[in-house]
Structure 1
Amino acid sequence: MPTPSAPAVLPDFTLSPALAPLDGRHLLGVLQYEAADLGTRQSAWRARQAADLLTAPAIDVPFKGHAGIRTAQDWLAQAPTSAPGPRLPAPDWREAGLQLRCHSPTPVQAGHFGAIRYRESGALLFGALHIPLPASGACAAAVRAAYADLFRLLTASGKPHLVRIWNYVPRVTAINDQGMEVYRDFNLGRSQAFDASGYDTRHMPAATGIGCEGDHIAVAFLASTEAGLNFENPRQISAYRYPAVHGPRPPSFARATAWPHGRPQWLFISGTASIIGHQTVHIDQVMAQTREALNNVRLLLAARGASLHDVDLLTLYVRHARDVAAVAAHVAAALAPQTRMLVTQADICRNDLLVEMEALARVA
């Protein structure tokens, strides 16, 4: 049983417009979210970024569309109502890019390990890499090699404990030339790398695996000298124990990770959907799936004495643009008014899932 540590000074996670000023001395890493139909968006953004970003570990995540940064109360204000009153504009699916930035409380040092760019500071390391997705869609070997490099970096850095991973996979449910869904092939390579590196189910951290546009699998990760507390949802079979109906190897992640062991702590909720046991429920019912996913998030928060009102940032993935406003308003109504929400239109790792969400909560 780990000994509780003294109160920690936690890293900060900010959600900002892509062109907002950066604090380079303390910037650990960046996840850049962009709308896939912005044409030459990436080069234009990078040309305007502070030079420091060019050496920061960053991944570019093109989605079908996103509706920007809004608080829960703003999403509620723009939802259609029967009563007249002021409204926010409808979501603009072509607005500029957004960044999720991880800041360290102390200055950082940059480095690279093969194709992985990283920054570290004190107990933390944030890294990012891109894995080319072959035209064939067969990606297991490339994923296995990239994750093996990731594990070697963690060992060499003295920060061996994964706290959170974000995986963005193009053509996520397309069938590759070997007759397997791209996401299942991704899981095969990831699982093989976990096995080869000696990681068992106790070490699997919170993670997201969601569809994106483009031709590169993007991976970002946060690691630490201190292991997080990884835990599961009693309503669900652990993802790493899924039966073979979901592919030759199961996904390698925990439902949630609390870090560090002392308080305050961050609670990372993995990508969460309308799944009971290992099966999708409420097929073709987007609002019922939204309610079920929220119930799963609520249960994970409760395991650490938290509630939906403790969520600092919630990211919502909605398969169809037509469902965005209704889903976002329903989720916003369950959160504290000032909770930040990032809403995207994205493909999800099962064709029968219409909604997925992940959360970051600060627990005192």
Structure 2
Amino acid sequence: MVQRSENLQVQPGLPRSPRVTYRMADPGTALDEPGTLAVFGFGAGARGHDGDPRWFRVALESFDAPAPIELWQVDAEISYGHHDAVRWSSGGGWLFAAIEVDERDAGGMEGAARQAYAALRQFMSTRSERCVLRIWNYIANINDGEDDAERYKQFCDGRAAGLDDFFAEGFPAATAIGHHHDKHLLQVYLLAGIDTGTAVENPRQTSAWRYPRQYGRTSPGFARAMLMPAQDALAISGTAAVVGHASTHEGDVEAQLNETLTNLEALLASADMPAGFDTHSPLKAYVRHATDATRVWEILQRRLPGVPVLLMHGDVCRRELLVEIDGWRFS
């Protein structure tokens, strides 16, 4: 059940947040619709219009067959193009930007992250929509390596070097998930706007940038969620069964999923958003082991009836975590 809040109102004078939906549709048809900022396909079978910068094939397989596309739309005319290696589209005060880097051209994972984020930082300096609100990172073999040589930790090191002081005033919401496709491919894309949002933290969890040294030389830099400028939507970062800074319920996917859902509810409360999720709140659930997918789906169907959830085969940034959820809560 979704409880509505009388206190949450769209802020006048600020652009309405992009509408994010899942749809069974031809990507070309979606790209032709007015106000289409970006269209995402999932997995090796996704077929789109590779010549259009707004089309992005995410290197994650969906457990849904066929998989829907993800569609971002705004109430404005759209322009788009390329800036060196960055593809982009914009309209109505909103910006989509994306980059893919082959690690072989960058000296490895750390170099690829540095290169990707330096390119995005440079591109953002040319734009009026330079308030980065939400970022997605898809990393091959994210858990390979030990201690500081683990690929996710190398990614965090390179990302920080590429960003320099770009997020000095605060981190955006973010996701980092491991994919099982081209082992050399790093994908990064973002949503930015002309106005700042409000970063939201979860009182049940240590803020990611305050993690102790055991999680790497460079703490993950992200907010647990971002309230959009008009306060009409909450962009939720990748959320898992972490309490404080520690992973919980090791080896138990059902307990981890229930803990994750508890964290999501705490996050909504921190943002003064209505409790619960509804049919207009698209989520993604990333599941490490394909054998767990059916059980995860059954629990989500029971706990989140009617909520659009895209079930993805992806590795969470800590080896012991089996499931993670991110997505949107619209008011």
Q: Take 2:121 and 2:105, find their aligned partners in 1: how far apart are those partners?
A: 27
Corresponding residue of 1:26: 35
Choose which of 96, 100, 114 in structure 1 pairs with 2:70. 100
Contact conserved, 2:236 with 2:326, CA < 8 A, in 1?
yes
Q: Please tell me whether residue 248 in structure 1 is matched to residue 179 in structure 2.
A: no
- Residue deviations 1:243-286, cap 9 Å, x none? 111111011111000102x34x1101100000011111111111
Which amino acid is the alignment partner of residue 51 of structure 2? Answer: L
Q: Please tell me whether residue 208 in structure 1 is matched to residue 175 in structure 2.
A: yes
Which amino acid is the alignment partner of residue 108 of structure 1? Answer: I
Q: Please tell me whether residue 16 in structure 1 is matched to residue 13 in structure 2.
A: no
Which amino acid is the alignment partner of residue 144 of structure 1? Answer: R
Q: Take 1:134 and 1:220, find their aligned partners in 2: how far apart are those partners?
A: 20
Of all paired residues, the percent bearing the same amino acid is 30
Deviation at 1:339, TM superposition (A): 1.6
Contact conserved, 1:294 with 1:331, CA < 8 A, in 2?
no
Larger radius of gyration: 1
Range with greater deviation from structure 2 (132-141 or 352-361)? 132-141
Choose which of 250, 273, 292 in structure 2 pairs with 1:305. 273
- Residue deviations 1:12-50, cap 9 Å, x none? 11212363521434221123211x5xxxx35xx24xx4x
Q: Take 1:136 and 1:161, find their aligned partners in 2: how far apart are those partners?
A: 27
Deviation at 1:136, TM superposition (A): 10
Contact conserved, 2:112 with 2:186, CA < 8 A, in 1?
no
Question: May I ask how many residue pairs the two structures share in their alignment?
Answer: 316
Structure 2 residues not aligned, in runs of 5+: 1-9
- Residue deviations 1:131-175, cap 9 Å, x none? 112399832122112212212222211111111111100111112
Give TM-score, length-normalised by structure 2: 0.88
Secondary structure of the structure 1 residue equivalent to 2:144 = coil
Choose which of 280, 291, 295 in structure 1 pairs with 2:262. 295
- Residue deviations 1:298-334, cap 9 Å, x none? 1111122322234611110111122112212212322
Q: Please tell me whether residue 358 in structure 1 is matched to residue 326 in structure 2.
A: yes
Distance 1:179 1:300, change over 3 A: closer
Corresponding residue of 2:300: 331
Equivalent residues in 2 for 1:1-364 (5 A)? Answer: 4-6=11-13, 8-17=15-24, 19-20=26-27, 21-24=29-32, 25-34=34-43, 36=44, 41=45, 45-46=47-48, 49=49, 54-63=51-60, 65-68=61-64, 95-134=65-104, 138-175=108-145, 180-194=149-163, 196-200=164-168, 202-213=169-180, 214=182, 215-260=184-229, 262-263=230-231, 265-303=232-270, 304-310=272-278, 312-335=281-304, 337-363=305-331
Contact conserved, 2:59 with 2:138, CA < 8 A, in 1?
no
Contact conserved, 1:318 with 1:355, CA < 8 A, in 2?
yes
Corresponding residue of 1:85: none
Q: Take 2:105 and 2:82, find their aligned partners in 1: how far apart are those partners?
A: 27
Structure 1 residues not aligned, in runs of 5+: 69-94
Deviation at 1:4, TM superposition (A): 4.6
Following TM superposition, the consecutive aligned residue runs of length 4 or more in structure 1 with deviations greater than 6 angstroms are none
Give TM-score, length-normalised by structure 1: 0.81
